[in-house]
Structure 1
Amino acid sequence: MRAANVLHLGVKELRGLARDPMMLILIVYAFTLSVYSQSRAIPETLNRAPIAIVDEDRSPVSARIASAFYPPFFTAPRLIDAAEMDRLMDQGEIAFALDIPADFQRDLLAGRAPTIQLNVDATRMSQGLSGAGYVQAIVSGEVTAFADRYRAVATPPADLVIRARFNPGLDKTWFGAVMNVINNVAMLSIILAGAALIREREHGTIEHLLVMPVSAGDIMVAKIWSMSLVVLAATAFSIYAIVEGALGVPIYGSVSLFLFGAALQLFATTSLGVFLATLAGSMPQFGMLLMLVLLPLQILSGGATPRESMPEAIRTLMLAAPNTHFVMLAQSVLYRGAGLSVIWPQLLALAGIGAAFFAFSLARFRRSLR
């Protein structure tokens, strides 16, 4: 393997990518608009949910409850009567309708247990699930605070004080932004490396390369470093401009250390992309193989679901996947500000998995050229 051959072949790959507008659009979209929009639209995040209140009591406590709903979680509450509630729910204009019955304050101060009816539009599944909990917490807090002013409440023997570290506001956008970048790193690296090899076959240039004084290793390493460089540059831009800039997610650790881990991740995933391309005869076949590989990598790596909630067999099996270690590394560095002394096991694992993927893919690539 000659360094000059690898360099020139890699530059050729970059020039070929620059002449492919659809791939360029995909790269730009994946690390900008896709990261921003998916982070803002996380299903569990409640944002400007429309709510209406039927205030049959018209008391200070009902007014206090109505004033507790405001952006960004809810829109300003619409005060309606009972006859309008069903119509607005049927038309989909409101997601929540809170019905405060008459004599609610009187029953509350008398020590009774009055009830408030909450109607939820269950067709808005994500908003309905999380929003009902928000409404319950807000109403309970306001009613308790109001009742404490008029009658003594026994002080609990112990008070639980919650301090959320690394994400004090429990904002799911902070988590989703970094996870979207991680998922796109794996997706784009596999696609670019695999598409580069398939494009060589479709255009007939792979035969031209084989009659030149270059080896299969030269060709494969050139594709790996060139495509990895593109994804790494896009990742750095996305972290600084989109995650930290547009979304306002604070980065506690070293971005340089994260990018070093991303480079090892790219070494593994681009090798995997070359291997999938040797199995596929065309881009449609490559796309089908990509779905079979990419979905488990993203869903079972610990980014979407905690690994502790998975069966033991799945947890052990996914230790062979680079995404599992990259998710651990990214969360430790970007969320908790961890240094090299903490993440070195993940770095070693990524290097080992990448070396194994590279050796296996190179052997397969050489056999496919015979």
Structure 2
Amino acid sequence: MRRLKNIFRLGVKELYSLKRDLVLLILIGWAFSAGIYVAAVGRSADLHNTSIAIVDEDRSQLSARILQAFLPPDFKEPEIISFRDIDAGLDTRKYSFVLVIPARFEADLRAGLQPQIQVNIDATTIMQAGTGANFIANVLTQEIRRFSAERGETTSQPLNLVTRYAFNPNLDGMWFGSVMEIINNVTMLTIILTGAAVIREREHGTLEHLLVMPLSPFEIMMAKVWANGFVIIIAVAFSLWIVVEQLLAVPIAGSVPLFLAGATLYLFFASALGILLATVTRSMPQFALLFILIILPMMLLSGAQTPLESQPVLLQSFMRLVPSTQFVSFAQAILYRGAGFDIVWPQFLAVTVVGIALFAFAALRFRRSIATSK
């Protein structure tokens, strides 16, 4: 009971210290409010008011229907241009896409031939280029099929492919971006807060005050873990319920309390990592440089940005041992697909085991740093 009281009181002290740190408070507030909104809306790869032009050399009923098929808000109203204006329009980024419908396109199609439509794309915006190319191909296919069906004509199709998108039927990038930004911010902010708390003790000289008290390194570490973890969990709950569900209107399929329980287990690992980095460095600039070297590979390779399956097999095997990968896995399963505890318990267990091992190693390093301070 004495140890629990010490851990609780030291944690309250951490909360008071954080309350007086205006920079960290602003960082936390931004990261879980406006930062989530900006990441979801501003960095979306979806088509929105995309500029498109059409060179219509056919001037037929079908080409007119194709022209009318590109509607807002995905595209701006298509502009009719001549063939000689294509290069200038793409070079000046006036148009992102330019379609060239050749002469006799409709006549050749009705004659059973296979006429081609040329699509010119400004691929300097690579994500929009890939999305737009697929979108345009689908629009052209649908319009040609409808045109042929209205005239009782059939186009030879080896199969009728029906695609159904699960969990995100409209392929809205905002649904993915907002939740993934929260997941990334959990890792970053937890490491920063706990690491900064240890370095702040050393720089302000309060670590020596703690050393003369009847406190163990374990109690000092646990106090920093629960205090900073408590702040992060409150911020995550606010961000999910207010920013994501209310402001952005993104539906959460699974149980938010289950996700917060898993996030609490993950915070144990992230806090231990922050303390470990703080024992290696001696100042905030050193901590920041080491933090960048650690956090960037964790975020890029954890599956939050790119699929884990697209990585080399050896790298996949290594990253599956990293708790950040397990955190992303069960977070997506719970929040996107509505998974229950019976599905995500292996990830919960993996995060817990690695977190305890890292905490033990960080405690050893912290004890040695305290001995050096003495």
The TM-score normalised by the length of structure 1 is 0.93
- Do 1:109 and 1:150's aligned partners in 2 also have CA atoms closer than 8 Å? no
Q: Which residue of 1 aligns with 2:76?
A: 75
Q: Which residue of 1 aligns with 2:51?
A: 50
- The answer on 1:301 being equivalent to 2:302 is yes
The code of the aligned residue for 1:205 comes to: T
- Runs (5+) with no aligned partner, structure 2: none
- Figure out how many residues of one structure are paired with residues of the other and give that number: 370
Aligned CA distance change for structure 1 residues 264 and 95 (closer, same or farther; 3 Å)? same
78-87 vs 8-17, which deviates more? 78-87
Aligned CA distance change for structure 1 residues 137 and 159 (closer, same or farther; 3 Å)? closer
- Do 1:54 and 1:99's aligned partners in 2 also have CA atoms closer than 8 Å? yes
- The answer on 1:267 being equivalent to 2:268 is yes
In the alignment, the residues of structure 2 paired with residue 317 and residue 113 of structure 1 have an alpha-carbon distance, to the nearest angstrom, of 49
Q: Which residue of 2 aligns with 1:217?
A: 218
- Do 1:43 and 1:127's aligned partners in 2 also have CA atoms closer than 8 Å? no
- Do 2:269 and 2:354's aligned partners in 1 also have CA atoms closer than 8 Å? yes
- Do 1:254 and 1:333's aligned partners in 2 also have CA atoms closer than 8 Å? yes
Aligned CA distance change for structure 1 residues 127 and 255 (closer, same or farther; 3 Å)? same
227-236 vs 324-333, which deviates more? 324-333
Instruction: Report SS of the residue matched to 2:130.
Output: helix
Instruction: Report SS of the residue matched to 1:320.
Output: coil
- The answer on 1:251 being equivalent to 2:252 is yes
- Do 1:6 and 1:219's aligned partners in 2 also have CA atoms closer than 8 Å? yes
Percent of aligned positions with the same letter in both sequences? Answer: 49
1:122-201 to structure 2, matched below 5 A, reads 122-150=123-151, 152-153=153-154, 156=157, 158-201=159-202
In the alignment, the residues of structure 1 paired with residue 157 and residue 81 of structure 2 have an alpha-carbon distance, to the nearest angstrom, of 38
- Runs (5+) with no aligned partner, structure 1: none
In the alignment, the residues of structure 2 paired with residue 310 and residue 115 of structure 1 have an alpha-carbon distance, to the nearest angstrom, of 36
In the alignment, the residues of structure 2 paired with residue 46 and residue 157 of structure 1 have an alpha-carbon distance, to the nearest angstrom, of 30
Q: Which residue of 1 aligns with 2:335?
A: 334
Q: Which residue of 2 aligns with 1:323?
A: 324
CA positional deviation for 1:156 = 4.8
The code of the aligned residue for 1:280 comes to: T
In the alignment, the residues of structure 2 paired with residue 154 and residue 121 of structure 1 have an alpha-carbon distance, to the nearest angstrom, of 31
- The answer on 1:359 being equivalent to 2:360 is yes
Kindly provide the CA deviation profile for residues 244-287 of structure 1, in whole angstroms up to 9, marking residues without a partner as x.
22222211111000000000010110111000000011111111
Q: Which residue of 1 aligns with 2:27?
A: 26
- Do 1:50 and 1:95's aligned partners in 2 also have CA atoms closer than 8 Å? yes
In the alignment, the residues of structure 1 paired with residue 37 and residue 351 of structure 2 have an alpha-carbon distance, to the nearest angstrom, of 27
Q: Which residue of 2 aligns with 1:240?
A: 241
- The answer on 1:89 being equivalent to 2:90 is yes
In the alignment, the residues of structure 2 paired with residue 329 and residue 195 of structure 1 have an alpha-carbon distance, to the nearest angstrom, of 28
RMSD: 2.0
In the alignment, the residues of structure 1 paired with residue 127 and residue 44 of structure 2 have an alpha-carbon distance, to the nearest angstrom, of 5
142-151 vs 221-230, which deviates more? 142-151
219-228 vs 114-123, which deviates more? 114-123
Instruction: Report SS of the residue matched to 1:214.
Output: coil
161-170 vs 254-263, which deviates more? 161-170
In the alignment, the residues of structure 1 paired with residue 102 and residue 312 of structure 2 have an alpha-carbon distance, to the nearest angstrom, of 47
Kindly provide the CA deviation profile for residues 296-340 of structure 1, in whole angstroms up to 9, marking residues without a partner as x.
221222222222232332222223311111112111211111112
CA positional deviation for 1:208 = 1.6
- Do 2:148 and 2:155's aligned partners in 1 also have CA atoms closer than 8 Å? no
CA positional deviation for 1:107 = 2.5
Instruction: Report SS of the residue matched to 1:286.
Output: helix
In the alignment, the residues of structure 2 paired with residue 76 and residue 223 of structure 1 have an alpha-carbon distance, to the nearest angstrom, of 56
Aligned CA distance change for structure 1 residues 157 and 54 (closer, same or farther; 3 Å)? closer
In the alignment, the residues of structure 1 paired with residue 112 and residue 341 of structure 2 have an alpha-carbon distance, to the nearest angstrom, of 59
- Do 2:47 and 2:131's aligned partners in 1 also have CA atoms closer than 8 Å? yes
The code of the aligned residue for 2:368 comes to: R
Kindly provide the CA deviation profile for residues 63-116 of structure 1, in whole angstroms up to 9, marking residues without a partner as x.
111111122322222233445443332322221122223332222222333222
The code of the aligned residue for 1:317 comes to: F
- Do 2:49 and 2:73's aligned partners in 1 also have CA atoms closer than 8 Å? yes
The code of the aligned residue for 1:351 comes to: T
- Do 1:236 and 1:259's aligned partners in 2 also have CA atoms closer than 8 Å? yes
The TM-score normalised by the length of structure 2 is 0.92
- Do 2:44 and 2:177's aligned partners in 1 also have CA atoms closer than 8 Å? no
- Do 1:99 and 1:116's aligned partners in 2 also have CA atoms closer than 8 Å? yes
In the alignment, the residues of structure 2 paired with residue 349 and residue 121 of structure 1 have an alpha-carbon distance, to the nearest angstrom, of 44
CA positional deviation for 1:359 = 0.9
In the alignment, the residues of structure 2 paired with residue 97 and residue 120 of structure 1 have an alpha-carbon distance, to the nearest angstrom, of 7
Instruction: Report SS of the residue matched to 1:36.
Output: helix
In the alignment, the residues of structure 2 paired with residue 291 and residue 275 of structure 1 have an alpha-carbon distance, to the nearest angstrom, of 14
CA positional deviation for 1:145 = 2.1
- Do 1:122 and 1:128's aligned partners in 2 also have CA atoms closer than 8 Å? yes
In the alignment, the residues of structure 2 paired with residue 75 and residue 193 of structure 1 have an alpha-carbon distance, to the nearest angstrom, of 48
- Do 2:44 and 2:174's aligned partners in 1 also have CA atoms closer than 8 Å? no
Q: Which residue of 2 aligns with 1:8?
A: 9
179-188 vs 68-77, which deviates more? 68-77
